Amino acid sequence: MRLNRLDLTRYGKFTDGVLDFGDKPLGSPDLHVVYGPNEAGKSTSLDAILDLIFGIGTTSRYGFLHPYPTMRIGANVTVAGIDREFVRIKRPQNSLLDSEDRPLAETLIKADLGGIDRDAFSTMFSLDDETLEKGGEGILASKGDLGQLLFSASAGLSELSRELLSIRTEADGFYKYRARSGVLSDLKAKLISLKTEREALDVQASDYARLVGEKVSFARRYDEAVAERAGTQGRIDEIRRILGALPPMTRLAAAKERLAALVEMPEAPESWGRELPELRKAEIEYDVKSRGLERAIFELEDRIVGLVVDDAALRMSSRMDELSNLRARYMTAQLDIPRISAKAADLSIDALLLRLGKPGEASPARLVLDAAHVGKLRGLIGSKSGVDANAVTASQELAKVARLLCEQRANLGGFAELTPEKIKAFEQLATMIRTIPRSDEELGLRSLMRRREQTSATFTQTLARLLPWRGSGEELAAFACPTGSKIESWKSRHKQAEEVVRASNVDLDRLEAEARKLDAETGAVRGQAGDIDESAASAARAERNEAWTAHRNSLDAASADAFEAAMKTDDHLTSRRLLYFAEVGKLHQLGHRRAAVGAEIDTCRNRLQQASTELEKIKAEIGEYTASFASGAAMEPSEFSEWLQRREDALRSHGEVQAIEMELAETRDRLNRSRRLLTDAMRRAGVSFDPDAEMGVLIAACENVLDDYNAYDSTVQQLARLEKEESERREAADKAQAAASSWVATWKSLCGDCWLDELDSVPGPESVTEILEILDLLATAIDAREGYLDRIQKMEKDQALFEEDVHRVCGILGIPCHGPPGELFHAIAERVKTAGLDQDRREKLQEDLKSLRAEERALSSSREVSAIRQRAMLDHFRVTTLDEVESSLEIVTQRRELQDAILDLEHQLVEMTGASDILAVESLLSASDRTELERELATLKPLVEDQEARCHDLYHSKSKAEDALDAVGGDSKVAEIEEQRRTLLLEITESAGRYMEIRAGVAAAEHALRIYRDRHRSGMMARASSAFRTISRGAYEGVAAQPGKDAEVLIAVAAGGGSKAANELSKGARFQLYLALRVAGYHEFVTSRGSVPFLADDIMETFDDFRAEEAFKLFAEMAQHGQVIYFTHHRHLTEIARKVCPTVRVHNLDEVGTGRRLEVVAAE
């Protein structure tokens, strides 16, 4: 990722600001320094970059100038190697847009970030003085732990270790070895409490009737006591309400008496009481203002009458601008005419004519040549050197080619007599050498023979692995194999059957053990309680019924005795069943469970038998294929599959042996054919050779002969090329000589067409060059002299026009025309100025008079409104003065207040007594005696206290009886306790499982962290050491690891040989160490992933210039791998950056926000 441009359209203090970082430099660091004074917007720009990438938050401190809905940031960003335009606005969703305001996916701008969020990006790639200080504090907090420091600097996951510690603490909260407290201990204690409670509830059923009777008795007595107390309390409350209503009733009577004593008055608005003082005050103000306005109007009218304006001078004010311009030109002419006349006289035209050899020329303008002629002369002068150079170069090249041609002819050797047939034979031999196989074919042949031996041995070994099968490769290929789907079906069926057998055996062992356990428990219960199960009770009841039937039929003593014995047996069994009620239920449960376990045992045995039959069937199907070579023992599907795989390996080896044999035969045929073709070609070329020599020797002999032939052929081709080049060079030399002659003729013609022909001889190019320069000076001097004369004439005309206008205006204004024109102009200007000032004063006085009269009319209107309000009050109360109105308003206010107080007291009395209206209250209170009520209240108070105590005692006894009865509630309470116990056991099981998962997960995560840290530690340690050594200017050699108490710790190695733990360094050294770790982490990130911008905001506040220089060296090194942007308000840091990195780009924030792009200055 790289920022090419940042658009601060509407963000913070910026409006239409643009920060242009330009394209990525090639071969130089991508380092940028953004400079601006305090409050220039450095932090704003850095936060804008973060908001652009990750979005503007719900609240933003940069919305003080532009409201939230209008905030907008734009940028051109290189993402995934593509330049894209992005726009970010303040919106909850779809806030990332393209250049046409269409929504974009957030993943587009974050493609190179590897999934890191805003906090991780700020930690890894954004650095300011606050994070630098926190990093130093983090070194203290970590106590120099090497893994934590390196991991937090490289991966941005400094909180991960603390999160793992929090998870481990959560697990220890459930259980910790040798700890006395914990969730597991609390659950076990609760199990013990439930067991104790269950044992306490195991009481005799014979007490149940007594407990029920006690509960009913206490409940009836408690209800009676509550009813008595309610009656007493009701009477007390009634007496208190009556006693509380007596004082308000007295106040109500007094208020009614005061209301009756006041005079009846008509009602008036409440606002009249506030308006009356204002009306009195306004009446006085109206009188004072009226007299003041009359006096001011009279004075203004006198001043206007006494002011006289010069109308003639006032009409001339419109012409003063034109007259001022004429005066300015008049004064300029007085100064410039002498100066320009002197300049015209100083022009050196005669000296130029003397240099041209034309002294005393009557018409100097004749000597100035026209532009076309001058252009032709200059063109010829410019081409002169080229024409001469071409002629010299062509002559030299011709001589060089002639010399080379002689040398090549002398180099022809013994091949000069070759015939075309011989040349064709050599070409065929060269073609043969290029096409026939080289000596590596013989090496390949030997390699194939070795491969054949190895492959044959491998084939023999693979056949041995197929025992007990025996045969050849062809027989093995003809072996009938089952299909792949059949083999997979065998494996699946075999696996399922084995799993069924294994599960059935496990279930059988478990169920048979459980059956034995249930039988033992049933026997133990029967031994304790006797034969009290349901079958014994049913048999005893049937014997009693049979004895009763026999007794009814016989009605004799024997049947009566038999019935009595049967009835006693049944009653005895019934009483024992009641006595051992819990054991009866347990026998029922044991019986049901024993039957269910027996059914499950039968089911498991059936499944086991079916699975065993399936296994035998699978072995029989496989035996049909292996009967020919393994009739003694059947294979399992996995064994048969492995044998088939070994068969495939053997067939593959057999195929390789056959392929090598075929390739060996083909290679031998190619070698023989190549040897035959080569010897035939050598004979045709006349090359001698040994027929028994190896192929490599023959090829070497051919190559030596061909090298000689190629040298001869190259010489012949070079000779032909040189002959052609000699012809071309000779033709070029002739053309160059002709061009030189043509130039001389043209030059003479041009000189003859102008006054240059008048000289003693035809001038050369150097002379004409000097003459043309003098002619340029002559033309300039002639034009200047004519311009000076024209300006003098125009200035004299301006002077005459000014004098004429001044005299005419003086005649109009009656000013004597004596003195120079400048003094007359000043007299005119003074008259006009005085007339204008008088006119302005008169207009100002007239405006003031108009304002005073308008104020007088407004005052009159307000006075009329006030009079209307006063008349309304006087008429309402039928009085004549405002004092009488004020007295009437006071009476109305008193009556209103008394009426409101009476209504409040009546409502209060009705609410206190609970009566329907005030008449009922008056009737109730008139019939009450205060003394009797107080005596009765004193008698009832101790009575209600006794009744309250009796209610408490009875309620306590009733509650104890209910609790005792609920506790004996029988099986339901015990079942609830048992349910709670099982719930606790399930909770313990689930919590223990989660505890094991957490402990295993924490161990795995810590192991992964250790692996990650160890894998990246060496590279990061080397980078961190180099960076720390650089930024400390050699005060420290670097950092190293040293075993500590719990883990390896980071130490700083001083240049003098000493060392310090990271957490023992000074504050400044810790800052530098943290910066070095961040630099190393950045290199680690960009090495394993892509480049990401690194942002730093004035982190060198405490650095001196030397350490700042070293820090910029680190940033320049980082900028070789990615974009680095440093924000600062220190101008000297920009100079340090230029010194360290000459190609740094410095941006000035003062020019941002003006609606144009920020200028970028690259340091040279």
* pLDDT above 90 coverage of the chain, percent: 8
Q: What is the mean pLDDT of residues 119-141?
A: 75
β-pairing, 1124-1128 with 1094-1097?
parallel
Token pair for residue 74? 């734009």
What would the mean pLDDT of 228-236 be, rounded to a whole number?
Answer: 85
Strands (E), 769-879: none
Kindly state the average pLDDT of the residues 620-647: 73
The whole-number pLDDT of residue 19 equals: 92
Q: Which residues contact 742 (CB under 8 A, 6 or more apart)?
A: none
- In the chain, the percentage of residues whose pLDDT exceeds 70 is 87
Q: Taking residues 1114-1124, what's their average pLDDT? A: 92
Q: Which value, to the nearest 10 degrees, does the dihedral of the CA atoms of residues 82, 88, 91, 95 take?
A: -10
Top pLDDT among 924 and 415 is at 924
pLDDT of residue 155: 45
Per-residue model confidence (pLDDT) at position 387: 78
Q: What is the mean pLDDT of residues 497-505?
A: 86
DSSP code at position 364:
G
Ranges assigned E (strand) in 400-450: none
Report which of 1093, 1096, 1098, 1095 is spatially closest to residue 1132, judged by C-alpha positions: 1098
Q: Which pLDDT does position 147 carry in this prediction?
A: 46
**From 664-668, 754-758, 928-932, the region with the lowest mean pLDDT:** 754-758
**pLDDT for res 1161:** 38
**Which tokens is 558 given?**
């024997």
Of 222, 226, 202, nearest in space to 960 by CA: 222
CA distances, 1150 to each of 37, 637, 748, 954, 1143 (Å): 8, 83, 66, 90, 22
User: In degrees to the nearest 10, what's the CA dihedral of 595, 601, 606, 608?
Assistant: 170
Least confident of 136-140, 617-621, 1089-1093: 136-140
Calpha distance 838→841 (Å, rounded) = 5
pLDDT at position 580 is 59
Do residues 1010 and 1003 make contact, with C-beta atoms less than 8 angstroms apart?
no
Please report which residue ranges of 156-270 form alpha helices under DSSP H: 159-174, 183-200, 208-261
Determine which of 619-623, 641-645, 714-718, 1152-1156 has the lowest per-residue pLDDT on average: 1152-1156
The answer to whether residue 1126 scores a pLDDT higher than 90 is yes
DSSP state of 1010: H
- 340 or 11, which is more confident: 11
Residue of higher predicted confidence among 987 and 160: 987
Q: Are 1110 and 141 in contact (CB under 8 A)?
A: no
204 pLDDT tier (thresholds 50, 70, 90): very low
Q: Is pLDDT of 1155 > 60?
A: no
**Which of the pair, 1016 or 74, is modelled with greater confidence?**
74
Q: 153: pLDDT confidence band, cut at 50, 70 and 90?
A: very low
Those residues whose C-beta lies under 8 Å from the C-beta of residue 550, and which sit 6 or more positions away, are: 559, 562, 563
Give 83 or 963, the one with higher predicted confidence.
Answer: 83
For residues 67 and 582, give the distance between their C-alpha atoms in angstroms, rounded to a whole number. Answer: 78
Q: What is the 3-state secondary structure (H, E, C) of 333-361?
A: HHHHHHHHHHHHHHCCHHHHHHHCCCCCC
Who contacts 1137 (Cβ-Cβ below 8 Å, separation ≥6)? 31, 33, 1112, 1126, 1144, 1146, 1163
pLDDT of residue 668: 76
CB-CB contact of 88 with 55 (8 Å):
yes
Selected residue with higher pLDDT from 362 and 223 = 223
| Cα three-residue angle 684-686-688, rounded to 5 degrees | 120
pLDDT at 1159: 39
Task: Count CA atoms within 13 Å of residue 733 on its CB side.
Answer: 16
pLDDT band at residue 145 using 50, 70 and 90 as cut-offs: very low
Average of per-residue pLDDT across 283-312? 80
Report the DSSP beta bridge partners of residue 78: 2, 83
| 665 SS3 class | helix
Residue 346's pLDDT band, with cuts at 50, 70 and 90, is low
Q: What is the pLDDT of residue 209?
A: 63
For 851-889, how does the pLDDT look when each residue is reduced to its tens digit (9 = 90+)?
A: 888 888 888 888 788 888 878 777 887 788 877 877 787
Pairing status of strand 1048-1054 against strand 14-20: unpaired
**In angstroms, rounded to a whole number, what is the distance separating the alpha carbons of residues 147 and 1047?**
8
State residue 1138's pLDDT score: 92
Q: In terms of pLDDT, which residue wins out, 420 or 1162?
A: 420
Does the pLDDT of residue 744 top 90, yes or no?
Answer: no
Between 715 and 42, name the one with better pLDDT: 42
1148: helix, strand or coil: strand
Compute the distance between CA of residue 1037 and CA of residue 98 in angstroms, rounded to an integer.
Answer: 50
Write out pLDDT tens, residues 584-613.
667 777 777 888 888 888 888 888 888 888
What mean pLDDT, rounded, does the chain reach? 78
In this prediction, residue 1044 carries a pLDDT of: 58
Reported for 920-929, long-range contacts at CB under 8 A and 24+ positions apart, including other chains, are 921/245, 921/249, 922/249, 924/242, 925/242, 925/245, 925/246, 925/249, 928/242, 928/246
Q: How confident is the model at residue 144 (pLDDT cuts 50, 70, 90)?
A: very low
Encode pLDDT of 47-65 as tens digits: 999 999 999 988 898 988 8
**pLDDT bracket for residue 156 (50, 70, 90):** very low
Q: Distances from the Cα of 159 to the Cαs of 136, 154, 163, 1015, 1041, in angstroms?
A: 16, 13, 6, 20, 22
The pLDDT value given to residue 776 = 75
Are the C-beta atoms of 37 and 29 separated by less than 8 Å? no
Which residue(s) pair with 82 in the sheet?
79
